[in-house]
Homo-oligomer: A and B are copies of this chain.
């Protein structure tokens, strides 16, 4: 069995970029063409939205699969369409796997004991696409409840060759509220980072990285750089690049000498890139897939020049 982090790093090397495309479908911003087709097939509003989200994400997957190693569907937008949306999420995860992409399900789950086990069983399939109903390679997890609530996810990851990214330093302005609280010269997020490093070191089993990762926002570049040092065996997932303001320079410190150890996410900037700036002029809605391809290539170039 190949571990999650090894599969991820192979994919990063094959595609020669750490760019991660976030799949955050929003009805208001979908191409009219897709909204029309989905509406024409009838059903409840939730079903129509779910159908459009699945079509939109599937076409994005076709565009980006040759270019990037991984995609990150955001569960919230699918859940907002009810059971039909959740079925669309499952299908999007499947489609991405079938296209050879690593799938990180962004659902930020977390709970105690056997409840955490249920979440892990729901989302962590690892290498075997039939090992979980939502067959992701990796899941984002919230640490607030404590290390014993991370353990069931770690166990499952180890068992099936999956991974998790634990929220350490998020990209939003309010990240400071609780994560920056300092106790004996150590901030909460640093304390969480230390525990994540322990978990990942244990799974690394002599390798450079384990499959227990950390979410660290590009919007706090100083902390990102420090956390890279603090968690040498932890692969990073970096949100906040692009629309949220993070730049290629901001994330440069996250990578090791081989260009590994981190992936950088862009969601809106890629999937709705055709709606703003130069890409809107050049492609616009009429050529939205070409616009997404161009946005992805721009991100890849930008990151390569870091």
A179 at the interface (CB under 8 A from B): yes
Pair A79/B118 contact, Cβ less than 8 Å: yes
Asked if A46 contacts B133 (CB within 8 A), the reply is: yes
Interface contact A172-B188, CB-CB below 8 Å: no
Interface residue SS majority, chain A: helix
Which A181-218 residues have C-beta < 8 A from chain B? 181-183, 188, 191-192, 195
B80 touching A119 by the CB < 8 A rule?
A: yes
Of B123, B172, B183, which one neighbours A113 at CB under 8 angstroms?
B172
Which B residues touch A173, using CB under 8 A? 146, 148
Decide if B192 touches A178 in the complex (CB within 8 Å): yes
Contact B146 A178 (CB under 8 A): yes
Please count how many residues in chain A sit with their CB below 8 Å of the partner chain's CB atoms.
Answer: 57
A115-B74, A178-B191 are contacts. A142–B108 as well, Cβ < 8 Å?
Answer: yes
CA gap between A133 and B82 in the complex, in Å: 5
Instruction: Determine if A174 is an interface residue (Cβ-Cβ < 8 Å).
Output: yes
A171 within 8 A of B: yes
- Return chain B residues, CB-CB under 8 Å to A144: 142-144, 167, 170, 178-179
Contact pick for A174, options B46, B74, B123, B147, CB 8 Å = B147
Q: Which of B74, B115, B133 contacts A83 (CB 8 A)?
A: B133
Chain B residue contacts of A285, Cβ below 8 A: none
A81 → chain B closest CB, angstroms: 7
Contact of A146 among B46, B115, B146, B170 (CB under 8 A): B170
Complex formed: what's the CA distance from A116 to B145 in Å? 19
| Cross-interface CB contact of A183 among B74, B177, B182, cutoff 8 Å | B182
| Chain B neighbourhood of A147, CB < 8 A | 174, 177
Distance in Å from the Cβ of A145 to the closest Cβ of chain B? 5
Known: A149-B172, A174-B149, A179-B144. Contact between A118 and B77, CB under 8 A? yes
Q: List 14 A-B contacts (CB under 8 A).
A: A46-B133, A74-B115, A76-B118, A79-B118, A79-B133, A83-B90, A113-B172, A144-B144, A146-B170, A146-B175, A149-B174, A178-B188, A178-B191, A182-B183
Using a CB–CB distance below 8 Å, which chain A residues touch chain B?
24, 26, 46, 74, 76-77, 79-83, 85-87, 90, 108-116, 118-119, 121-123, 133-134, 142-149, 167, 170-179, 181-183, 188, 191-192, 195
